[in-house]
Structure 1
C-alpha cells in the first residue's frame, strides 16, 4: 500500500522688487563769503575717500548729495560675495526625479502545498471517481489557500476527514481534505498563499497527504484540478495532461 493514497470517500519663489531712493537737497542759493569761495569750492569738488581698499568715491556736483542706496538694497552690480541662486533642480549633478513604482499585483493562484509529491491523480478508482489529486508531505506540513476567497465550510467531512471548502467567486471552489488541523473558520476571507491548516491523515486515508479538489459552480461538481491550476499559472507536476 503506497503512502498518501486516498480511499474513495462519498461526496457531501517669494520674489519682490523694491525701488531705490535718491536723496537730494536744494542747491545753495546764497553766495559764499568772500575769500572762501574759490578755495572752498575747489576742496569740495574733489573729495577723497578715507582709508580702505575700495575705489575712491566719485566726485559730485557742489551743493548735492551723492546717490546712496537705502539700507537693505544692493548697489547696482554688487552681490557682496554671494553667488547667484541656482534652481534646486538645475545642473548636471541634480538628483534625478524619482519614478513612481507600481505596486505588484497580488498573487492570484498558488500551489496549496508546494513541497508535496503527487501520489494519485484525478480519475476512476475502485469503480468510483477519485475527484482530486493527492499531495503527500510530512505530517503537519502547512497547507495554504490556492486562491483568495471565503471559507464556506470547515470541519469533519466524512471520508475526507477534516476538510475546508473555499469559494473563490466566479463559480469556482477548492476543497482540501484529510487535514490534521484547521486554522480558519466559516466566513473567514483568505488570500492566496495564506495558511489554512496542516496536512494530515484524517478520514479515509492510508497516510499523510492533502486531497485537493477544484469544483465548478457548486460542490460537488469536480473538474481535473492539475489542468485547471495549470490554466491559472500554477503547475502541479506528476499527473498526465488530460486530453482536450
Structure 2
C-alpha cells in the first residue's frame, strides 16, 4: 500500500507516518520543514517531498498521487499568533480541495481512500449531533475569532458535500479526536459513532499516537475501513482508574 500523508512533520502527522512505516506501508509525505522527520532515519519505504501542498501545481501533485492508494490529511494550524490568525486561513479546506482535484486527474481509475483528521468541535449532522445553546454561543465565538475552527468546519463540509458518497474516485473517513495530548506509547482507546461528551465544556482526551494507530488500522484493516467509511468516528483515550 502507498499512502500520502499531509502534515507528516506535525505533532500528530508524525505519529501517523511512524505507525504506517511500522506496518510496512510505503509512505510519501509533503512537508516544508523536514527537520522532525530526520529522526526516522533513512527508510526505503519513506519518501519525503519538500514542498508546500498549497503551492504545488495540480499536475505535479497528480503525479505524486499516481501510485497512491490513500491520502491522510493531518494538516492543522500551528498554535501561535501567526498560525492561528495568519494566512492561509483555509489551509485544511484548500488542501483537501486540491487533493480532490488532483485525484480527478489520475489516469489510474482505482478508488483512493481519503482520511481527514478533524476535531470534535465539528458536528456530524448525519448522527443527529447538536450543540446546546451554550455550546452554540461558544462555537460561534470561536468561529468568529479563531479562523482554524471555521477552516475545520469548511473542510468537513467539502468532504461530505462536494466529494460526498457517490464519487467514483474517492472514499473517505473523517477522524475526530478530542483534546490532543502527547504520549509515548499506544494505549487503550475507544472509537464511537458520535460524541460522548461536550467538546466545549467537558472535553475528553485523545493522545496523538492513538490517533496515528487508529488511522493506520483504518488503512491496513479492510473491516475497519468498511465499518467507518463515509462516517465521522470520534476517538477517546480510555481513562485510567
> Which TM bucket (shorter chain)?
under 0.3
TM-score, normalised via structure 1 length: 0.20
TM-score, normalised via structure 2 length: 0.20
**Structure in which a larger fraction of residues adopt helix:** 2
